[in-house]
Amino acid sequence: MTTINTLNEIPMDDLKEEERKEMERKEMEKKEKEKKDKKKDSGSVSTFSDSNSGKENEPDKQKAPNDPNQEFSPQYYQEAEFVSPYNNPFLVFVDKYFNISKRNSNFTTEILAGITLFLTTSYILQKQTTILGIAGMDSQSVFTATALTTGLGTITIGLVSGFPMLISTGMGENFFFVDTICHTLGYDWKIGLSLVFFHGIISVILSIVIPKSNLIYAIPSTFRIGIAYGIGLLIGKIGIIDMLLLDTSSHFDPKYQALIGGLTLVLIVYGASRNHKLVVVLGVIGSVVLSIIISIARKDLSFPKWVTPSLKETAFKLKFDYRNAVPIYYVIVYVLNTLFDVVCSSLTIIQLTFLSKIKYDNESFVKLVAGAKNNRFMKILLVNSAFVIVSSLLGTSPTVIFIESCVAAALGARTGLCSIVAGLLFIISIFFYPIMMIIPQESIGPLLVWTTISVLQMVEYMNFDDINEMIPVAISSVLIPLLDSVIYGVSSGYIVLLLVWITGKNRKWKQINATMIFVGIASIICLFIPKTFS
C-alpha cells in the first residue's frame, strides 16, 4: 500500500511535462542536424561528376577526369559553372570560347606569349626565302606565300584546337623539296609543288581514316614524354647555335653576339622566374633592336629593298606532268615525315600546356586529347593537312606544327588566343619585308634555351624503375638532338620499343596492336630513306 501511495503522490502533470520537454529536445537536435547538413551541402564545390557512382567528388581530391572535354585548372578540373572575371561582353565571349580563365591564364599572358612566339619563329621567313630560292623560285613571292600560309594556318589552328600552336613551313620539308625533289631527282619546282598538293590530299585522308585515339595509344606514356624530352634538348641546341656559342669557324667573332645573347638570357630567366612576362618580351625586342644597331654600325648589315607583296610568281603554278611523275616511294616518305613531325610536335606542346595532367595514365591523356565529343587531335591533323594543300597553291613547301610553339607554352600560354596573336603578326609582316629579313637569331636563341628548361620538367613523370621502358626513351631523347632530326630519333626509339616489348624480360608482345605495327613499319621506312630531312 505504501508503494501505491508513493506513486499516487507524483502529479500526472509533471510526467507529461517531462515527456514534452524530451520530445522538444529531440526535435531541436534533429533540426540542428538538418541545418548543418544543408549548410555543408551548399558550401561544397562541385568538381566533376563520377559517371560510375553519380557522387560528387570533394574539391581537395585531384583525379583524372572521366569527361575528356573538361578543362584543367590548378585547383579543380571543372567548376560548377563558368564565371568570367571580365565585365566587357566581348572579353567574356573570348574568355569563354578559349577557356582562358578555366585554364588559369589571362589576356595579358596570351598576348605577350603570342608576340614572343612570333619573334621566335619569324626566322622561317628568312630561311624559306633563301632555301627555296636555290630551286629557282622568286624570293619575294616565297616570302609572301610563307607569311600568308603561316598567318592563316596559325589563326585557324588556334580557333579550332584551342592550343597555343603555330603552323608554318617545316625546315626538314623545305630541304627535302629542294635537295631531293629538285636537285637529286631533277624536277622543276612547279612539279615539286604538285607533289606537295598530292601530299596534302593524302594527309587529309589519313587524318580522317586513322583512329586518332589508337595512334596516341600506340605511343606509350613514358615514350611520349621521352620524345618531348629529346625535342626539348633539340630546341636548346638550336638556341645555343643561334646565340653563336657553337660556331667553330675561323672567322668566328663572338664578342658582341655572345654578350647580347647572354644578357638576353639573363633577362628572360629573371622575367620568367618572377612571372614578369613583359620583361621577357621587352628584353627580346630590345635585344633585336640592339643587334641591328650594332650590325649597321659595323657595316655587317644592309636593308633589302622595300617591295610590294606579291604572289604572282608562285601562286597556282603547279605543274602536273604525269610523264615524269615523282616515284611513289618519295611521296610516301614525304607524307610519313610530315605526319611524324605533326604528331610528335603537337603531343609535346599539349603535354607542356597541361603539364600537371601527364602524370596520369595513358588512357586519361587519350581522353583529354582525342575524346569522342571533342577530338582535338583530329582537328590538329586536319588543319595542318589542309594547309599543306594551301601552301602548294600559294607556292611554298609543306606545313608542320612548329616545335618552337613550346616557347609560348613555357611562358604561360594555355589557349588558342596566343596562336591568333602570332598569326595576325605574320600576316602584318607581309608588308615589312626588309625588317623581317634582318631579325638577328642571336636575340631569339635565349628564348629557345629557356624553353628547354621548361620542357625538361617532364622528366619527373618518367618511370625510371622499369629499364625496359627507359631503353627506347634514352635512345630517342639522345638521338633527336644529336641527329638534329625528330623523325630519326623517334623512329629509332620506336623500333627499339617494339623489340623490347617482343624480346624483353617483361614481354608485352600481346599488347602490340595493328596501329603499333603500322607506326613500326612507318618508322622503318623513314629511318632508311636515302636523304635526311635535317
Q: What is the pLDDT of residue 151?
A: 96
How high is the mean pLDDT of the chain?
A: 77
Angle CA(444)–CA(448)–CA(454) in degrees, nearest 5? Answer: 145
All structural domains of the chain with their residue ranges: 111-304+317-456
Question: Band of the pLDDT at 76, cuts 50, 70, 90?
Answer: very low
Q: What is the pLDDT of residues 1-18, one digit of tens each?
A: 444 444 444 455 555 566
Instruction: Of 331-335, 365-369, 430-434, give the range with the top mean pLDDT.
Output: 430-434
* Mean pLDDT calculated for residue range 148-158: 95
Distance CA 448, CA 149 (A): 23
| pLDDT of 444 above 60 | yes
Q: What is the pLDDT of residue 396?
A: 92
Q: What is the pLDDT of residues 258-292, one digit of tens each?
A: 788 888 888 888 887 777 778 888 888 888 888 88
Q: What is the pLDDT of residues 201-244, one digit of tens each?
A: 888 888 888 766 677 777 887 888 888 888 888 888 888 887 77
φ, ψ dihedrals at 182, nearest 5°: -85, -40
Angle CA(465)–CA(466)–CA(470) in degrees, nearest 5? Answer: 105
Q: What is the pLDDT of residue 37?
A: 61
Distance CA 348, CA 221 (A): 11
pTM: 0.75
Distance CA 431, CA 448 (A): 27
Sequence-separated contacts (24+) of 173-176 with Cβ below 8 Å: 173/334, 173/337, 173/338, 173/341, 173/397, 173/398, 173/400, 173/533, 174/127, 174/128, 174/131, 174/132, 174/397, 175/131, 175/533, 175/534, 176/334, 176/337, 176/397, 176/531, 176/533
φ, ψ dihedrals at 63, nearest 5°: -135, 160
Instruction: Of 184-193, 355-364, 491-500, 504-513, give the range with the top mean pLDDT.
Output: 491-500
Report the percent of the chain where pLDDT is more than 70. Answer: 75
| pLDDT of 375 above 50 | yes
Q: What is the pLDDT of residue 370?
A: 64
Q: Distance between alpha carbon 206 and the CA centroid of its chain, in Å?
A: 21
Closest Cα partner for 194 from 473, 418, 488, 398? 398
Distance CA 313, CA 124 (A): 20
Q: What is the pLDDT of residue 79?
A: 37
CB atoms within 10 A of CB 337: 26
Distance CA 192, CA 206 (A): 21
Question: Band of the pLDDT at 77, cuts 50, 70, 90?
Answer: very low
CA 307, 312, 316, 321 dihedral sign is negative
**Strand (E) or helix (H) holding 496:** helix 486-503
* Mean pLDDT calculated for residue range 339-345: 79
Q: What is the pLDDT of residue 248?
A: 54
| pLDDT of 69 above 50 | no
Q: What is the pLDDT of residue 357?
A: 54
Instruction: Of 37-41, 126-130, 260-264, 360-364, give the range with the top mean pLDDT.
Output: 126-130
φ, ψ dihedrals at 38, nearest 5°: -65, -40
| pLDDT of 167 above 90 | yes
Contact 446, 264 (CB under 8 A): yes
Q: What is the pLDDT of residue 225?
A: 81
